[in-house]
Amino acid sequence: MTSKTAGSTPQGNLTPQQPGRPAINKVTANDIAEALKAGFSDFLARPVMSGFFGLFYALFGILFVWVLFWLGEVWMVIPAAIAFPLVAPFAAAGLYEMSRRLQKAESFGWSDILSVMARQRKREMGWMAFVTLFILWVWFYQFRTVLVIVLQNASFSDLDGFVNTVFFTSEGWTFLAIGTCVGAFLSAVLFSVTVVAMPMLLDRDIDFISAMLTSLRVVQENPAVMLGWAAIITVTMLLSLVPAFLGLIFTLPILGHTTWHLYQRAVAPAER
């Protein structure tokens, strides 16, 4: 099954560019709808392979939460649940490659996709991982700092005690307000520098800084549409965590495939 999304944006929608910089397309809500349709089509074309990446991501999430409880760090459950969707682009690297090959009607097997993913560690994707992990470290650090300052006398011996303190006290509401604002800012930064950077690094011979700058330009040129896409990702991923992370088996692959097609609609093809 071949998805037909590349080159769908008219050349008249390209923004003026400096030499050597990838051209940015104007995207609309219809582009997101079409990308979602193509992403779902790619999922149906290879449901087992696509679902594998979702299952792996879900199992990692379950293990991560279990380790937090085992270590007695129950306060980290909420920030971890919020941050967990932010690392999804790395889990979706194989999905981008699948969509790329489906789009070109190329045959492929497990070894083809996994070998492409393995090669990314020797390319610029490693630096993108560093940027992502740094932002996540800042998120956990500020969460802990605000927690200590605002809820300094609270005791979190178990998850119930933590939830009751955070959600049913005035201090907890203050903590949530501050944490939400900081978290929203960091999430916006991370989304802006990665939304098309990940598939772009897999698709082109480009350095990670150029990929991040291109991603920022896509968001700058299409703020409302990209905000809508960020909202779709956030709501879908958080709802997928509710049934013991198992919803990710389906939602992660579909969102991953969709991201590839949205990238192709947002960034003009490289000149040959």
Q: How far apart are CA 207 and CA 42, in angstroms?
A: 28
Distance CA 162, CA 124 (A): 40
Torsion of CA 239, 222, 92, 115, to 10 degrees: 180
Residues 6+ apart with CB under 8 A from 228: 29, 32
Residue 6 pLDDT = 45
What pLDDT score does 10 carry?
44
Number of helical (H) and strand (E) elements in the chain, helices listed first: 13, 0
- For residue 68, how many C-alpha atoms fall within 13 Å in the half-sphere facing its CB? 18
Supply the pLDDT for residue 48. 95
pLDDT score of 221 = 94
Tokens coding 235: 């709501």
Average pLDDT per block of 10 residues along the chain, 272 residues long: 45 51 92 96 95 89 84 75 71 87 90 79 72 83 83 67 79 84 86 90 88 94 94 88 85 94 91 59
What pLDDT, on the 0 to 100 scale, is given for residue 258? 96
Q: Look up residue 13 and give its two tokens.
A: 């929608």
pLDDT at 11: 46
Q: Which pLDDT score, from 0 to 100, does residue 7 have?
A: 45
Query: At CA 225, angle to CA 272 and CA 80, rounded to 5?
Result: 100
